[in-house]
Structure 1
Amino acid sequence: MAEEDPNIITSGKSRRITVGGLPFSIEIYRLETDPHWILEVVDCDGTSHVWDDHFASDEDAKDAAVQEIEREGAAAFMRGDNVIRFPTR
């Protein structure tokens, strides 16, 4: 019998915010088998920014996202120098 993939649990702390007139989606989730939360921020261009560090609580993840967006400003997420470009075919 094949093992099933674990379910993904989405936190109720996930939310949409607007900073500097630009919308951001804060996505906080974890695998049901892992107690640590993953933080992903999606900017208005649909670019995903995933934190390397995982968080002990979904509240910690939300706070980290909001603090980073407020500290760096919306434009910091929109710079092209923090995105890894994959070659196109």
Structure 2
Amino acid sequence: MAKAPKTEHSELAGEFTDDGITVLVDIYRPAGTQGDWTLEVITEEDDVTTWEEPFPTDREAFDEFLATVERDGIRSFFGEPEPNPAVH
């Protein structure tokens, strides 16, 4: 079984709370490289949002996260709510 590559996490990564909701912002890249940074947001319900395109700097990744919260709200990282069952 292959080992997962080691990663280096940004100092900007961590918990972020807005509107009473906390998410984990994870910004990482392969350890020991100068590679691009990956941005993921993980909710308390384990919904994971991963940006498809990497970022040249961890600051750019974090700024994109902040812009998304400002534009779409922190609730945008949560999966679709379960539909209400029909009552007959």
TM-score bracket, normalised by the shorter chain, equals: 0.7 to 0.9
Q: 1:52: which partner in 2?
A: 52
- Displacement of 1:15 in angstroms is 1.9
Secondary structure of 1:68's partner? helix
| Higher Rg of the two aligned structures | 2
Q: 1:80: which partner in 2?
A: 80
Q: Structure 2: where are the runs of 5+ without partners? A: 82-88
- Displacement of 1:4 in angstroms is 6.9
Q: 2:13: which partner in 1?
A: 14
| Count of aligned pairs between the two proteins | 79
- Residue 19 to residue 8, structure 1, CA distance change in 2 (3 Å): same
What is the RMSD computed on CA atoms of the aligned residues? 2.2
- Residue 19 to residue 5, structure 1, CA distance change in 2 (3 Å): closer
User: Percentage identity across aligned positions?
Assistant: 27
Q: 1:67: which partner in 2?
A: 67
Question: Structure 1 residues 7-16 or 28-37, which shifts more?
Answer: 28-37
The two structures have a TM-score, normalised by structure 1, of: 0.76
- Displacement of 1:77 in angstroms is 1.6
Structure (1 or 2) with the greater helix fraction: 1
Secondary structure of 2:27's partner? strand
Q: Structure 1: where are the runs of 5+ without partners? A: 82-89
The two structures have a TM-score, normalised by structure 2, of: 0.77
User: Are the aligned partners of 2:13 and 2:25 in contact in 1 as well (CA < 8 Å)?
Assistant: yes
